[in-house]
Amino acid sequence: MKKFIDENFLLTNKTAEILYHQYAKDMPVIDYHCHLSPDQIAADLNFENLTQVWLYGDHYKWRAMRANGIPEEYITGNKSDWEKFEKWAETVPYTLRNPLYHWTHLELQRYFDVYDILSPATARKIYDECTAKLQTPEYSVRNLLRKMKVEVVATTDDPLDNLAHHQQIKKEGFEVKVLPAFRPDKAMQADDLPALVAYITKLEEVSGIAITDFDSYLNAMKSRHDYFAANGCVISDHGLEQMYAENYTDEEVALIFDNIITAKTLSEVEVLQFKSAMLYHFSVWDHEKNWVQQYHLGALRNNNSRLLESLGPDTGWDSMGDFQQGPMLSKFFNRLDSSNQLTKTILYNLNPADNELMATMIGNFNDGSIAGKMQYGSAWWFMDQKEGMIRQMNALSNMGLLSKFVGMLTDSRSFLSFPRHEYFRRLLCNLLGEDVENGELPDDTEWLGQVVKDICYFNAKEYFKF
């Protein structure tokens, strides 16, 4: 029987095989957006077993297990790690055609040289073999990164973080760059006043700046932005339902902030005005430092209030939203561009209905100052699968320049997720190979090979200045 996921997996033509094996396969990995824990990298942790490295915190897998009728006690509950893995193995055969099926077996092969198909029949053997390997020095988290040829990791960090783990990693001379990214979403959550007031109190402590009005709040936030820059940060990131660009005056926002710190109820318009003002100031600071700003747009979060209350956020209760994205994106970027304060920007959409919108919006603000200043980001979250990646690349190809694309990222909390870069690279090479075989692109392997290498690695390296 033919081995599942062989060397030409997803490569359906000879040109694709050449492009992948000769140009894409061995390129280093720049993972410019993920949710890996810097404390685990600093500690060079060895996970105790396969469940801990694979299932802890992975709401992709949790959603699949729930859909398969697995009780919560085997997912986030108090069952043993083996029992949880056993239920995951029971679920995997039913994930066929879901990206989890491909990712599961790619990760078993690439990290552990395990080529068995995961099922209840193979679960014990796979669990024991992988767990034994994970307990060896070769499988510490730093060596897991080395194994995948990772060159740069950009984590996602709250402005209040002291970045001590990043500092330790750098001091110890780890050759993989582990850099922070500035994620200030909690600093603008005016629709949750108790949480925002608590955040402001913590910001006072961390910054050493007394926060009595909006100007002092901005000064305290700016001090954290400066602190991140001093610790190697060159990226900001925002996870938003949609862009906020409500009209406001400085006087209005000052009054809104006074109401926030005195816990007075805000109107819906005031919430939007505050968020809009904060986003604008963050973007101006990013431009001053020549950072790259990222906007992840369109998630409808925390839909299941009953289970959210018992399990908390980021446990699998989010979905695609259908927010109107275009007008506010245009308004926000136009304001910044009008004063020449629009920095390098990456847009990600969660709803595929917005693909062409995003791909054309970036073209409005590419000003020729640098190649690919405005980027349509890789397929994100629910779109991070075969069809989603292809649709994103097709939209970018049709509306802009695929050749200037900064490529793939993991957006993951798992140290075993780096084969997603391989998955993307195979699809990219196959897409170009199909065009050659169909006579839609010239059969010039050297030229196409360089484009592939650029998208896989060199574009990101130049764009972020890593």
3-state secondary structure the chain: CCCCCCCCCCCCCHHHHHHHHHHHCCCCEEECCCCCCHHHHHHCCCCCCHHHHHCCCCHHHHHHHHHCCCCHHHCCCCCCHHHHHHHHHHHHHHHCCCHHHHHHHHHHHHHHCCCCCCCCCCHHHHHHHHHHHHCCHHHCHHHHHHHCCEEEEECCECCCCCCHHHHHHHHCCCCCEEECCECCHHHHCCCCHHHHHHHHHHHHHHHCCCCCCHHHHHHHHHHHHHHHHHCCCCEEEEEECCCCCCCCCHHHHHHHHHHHHCCCCCCHHHHHHHHHHHHHHHHHHHHHCCCEEEEEECEECCCCHHHHHHHCCCCCCCEECCCCCHHHHHHHHHHHHHCCCCCEEEEEECCHHHHHHHHHHHHHHCCCCCCCCEEECCCCHHHCCHHHHHHHHHHHHHHCCHHHCCCCCCCCCCCCCCHHHHHHHHHHHHHHHHHHHCCCCCCCHHHHHHHHHHHHHHHHHHHHCC
Beta strand pairing call for 177-179 and 292-297: unpaired
**Torsion sign (Cα): 456, 461, 462, 464:** positive
Q: What is the pTM of this model?
A: 0.97
What's the pLDDT score for residue 1? 64
d(CA 66, CA 90): 12
Beta strand pairing call for 150-154 and 29-31: parallel
Residues 6+ apart with CB under 8 A from 205: none
Region 262-284: mean pLDDT is 97
Instruction: Answer whether residue 292 shows pLDDT above 90.
Output: yes
What's the pLDDT score for residue 314? 87
d(CA 355, CA 388): 10
What's the pLDDT score for residue 2? 75
- Which residue has tokens 């062409």? 356
Share of the chain above pLDDT 90, in %: 98
Q: Are 368 and 382 in contact (CB under 8 A)?
A: no
Region 308-320: mean pLDDT is 92
**Torsion sign (Cα): 214, 218, 224, 228:** positive
d(CA 432, CA 445): 10
Q: How many CA atoms lie within 13 A of 301 on its CB side?
A: 13
Per residue in 59-75, pLDDT (tens digit) is 999 999 999 999 999 99
Residues 6+ apart with CB under 8 A from 300: 241, 318, 319, 320, 321, 322
Instruction: Answer whether residue 122 shows pLDDT above 70.
Output: yes
Instruction: Answer whether residue 41 shows pLDDT above 70.
Output: yes
Domains of the chain plus CATH, in order, are 46-138 (1.10.2020.10), 141-464 (3.20.20.140)
Per residue in 353-369, pLDDT (tens digit) is 999 999 999 999 999 99
Q: How many CA atoms lie within 13 A of 369 on its CB side?
A: 14
Per residue in 390-441, pLDDT (tens digit) is 999 999 999 999 999 999 999 999 999 999 999 999 999 999 999 999 999 9
Instruction: Answer whether residue 273 shows pLDDT above 90.
Output: yes
Q: What average pLDDT does the structure give for the chain?
A: 97
- Which residue has tokens 């599942």? 4
Q: How many CA atoms lie within 13 A of 16 on its CB side?
A: 21
Q: Are 266 and 256 in contact (CB under 8 A)?
A: yes
Phi, psi of 344 (to 5 degrees): -60, 135
| Per-residue tokens: 95 | 């994930």
Instruction: Answer whether residue 209 shows pLDDT above 80.
Output: yes
Region 185-200: mean pLDDT is 97
Region 337-355: mean pLDDT is 98
Q: How confident is the model at residue 388 (pLDDT cuts 50, 70, 90)?
A: very high
